[in-house]
Amino acid sequence: LMRGLFGQFTTAVPHDLGDPLLSAWILWWNAHHLPFVGSWWDGLSFYPEHGSLAFSDHRVGLEFISGPVQWLGGGPVLAYNVTFVACFVLSALAAYALTWTLTRSHIAATVSGVVFGFNPYRMAHLAHLELQAAFCLPLALMALHRYIDAPRVRWLVAFSALMVLQGLCSGYYVFFSIPLIGLWILWFGRDAPWRRLAAIVGAW
């Protein structure tokens, strides 16, 4: 997966020169403009049209990875590659955390992490950074399980914050998660008091 990047992390991108360079530019743009205000929306494409950044996933949530790389002097390609690799690692760790929460088995959690972090769907979308950024969803589900086990407000806050961050990283997964979260509520919340279910739906 990373073979083509070894030794040229600052000059090469994985897969092709299409979407990866688009993502590298968007990450650079986000690092140098205040998101969601003024000219940030205009980007550098489709001039002289305004609001062109709304035509694509803005990936603002990934700035906590790519932003510091650029603010410390790294270039857009380096920031992209660091973010690209981090998405695999963070997704695997998030799935590990969710599975360990459910099973208390490090073996099951490790298998889950490897499968979620490096599955065929992800391999088929190596060029699409936004589809690699799925690490918030397992953590959001983990927060829901924690809330069912111990109904504390902090778990609902964590769930809501993680879903917001997931949307800022990849809007696709927010829409993809709608049936997943709905089915989770129906299955795992079937024996919970209605007030607890209402709180989960409200946080969602």
Which one has a higher pLDDT value, 111 or 49?
A: 111
pLDDT reported for residue 143: 97
Residue 1 has pLDDT above 60, yes or no: no
CA angle 30, 32, 36 (to 5 degrees): 50
Name residues whose C-beta falls within 8 Å of residue 71's C-beta, 6 or more positions apart in sequence. Answer: 31
CB 136 within 8 A of CB 90: no
Convert the pLDDT of each residue in 112-169 to its tens digit. Answer: 999 999 999 999 999 999 999 999 999 999 999 999 999 999 999 999 999 999 999 9
Convert the pLDDT of each residue in 48-107 to its tens digit. Answer: 888 988 888 899 999 999 999 999 999 999 999 999 999 999 999 999 999 999 999 999
Name residues whose C-beta falls within 8 Å of residue 165's C-beta, 6 or more positions apart in sequence. Answer: 61, 136
Amino acid identity of residue 84, one-letter, is F
Q: Which segment of 107-111, 130-134, 193-197, 198-202 scores lowest on mean pLDDT?
A: 193-197
Q: Taking the CA of residue 3 as centre, how many other CA atoms within 13 Å lie in the half-sphere pointing to its CB?
A: 1
Convert the pLDDT of each residue in 13-51 to its tens digit. Answer: 888 888 999 999 999 999 999 999 988 999 878 888 889
Residue with tokens 């205009």: 42
- The pLDDT-based confidence of 4 (bands split at 50, 70, 90) is low
Phi, psi (deg, nearest 5) at residue 14? -75, 150
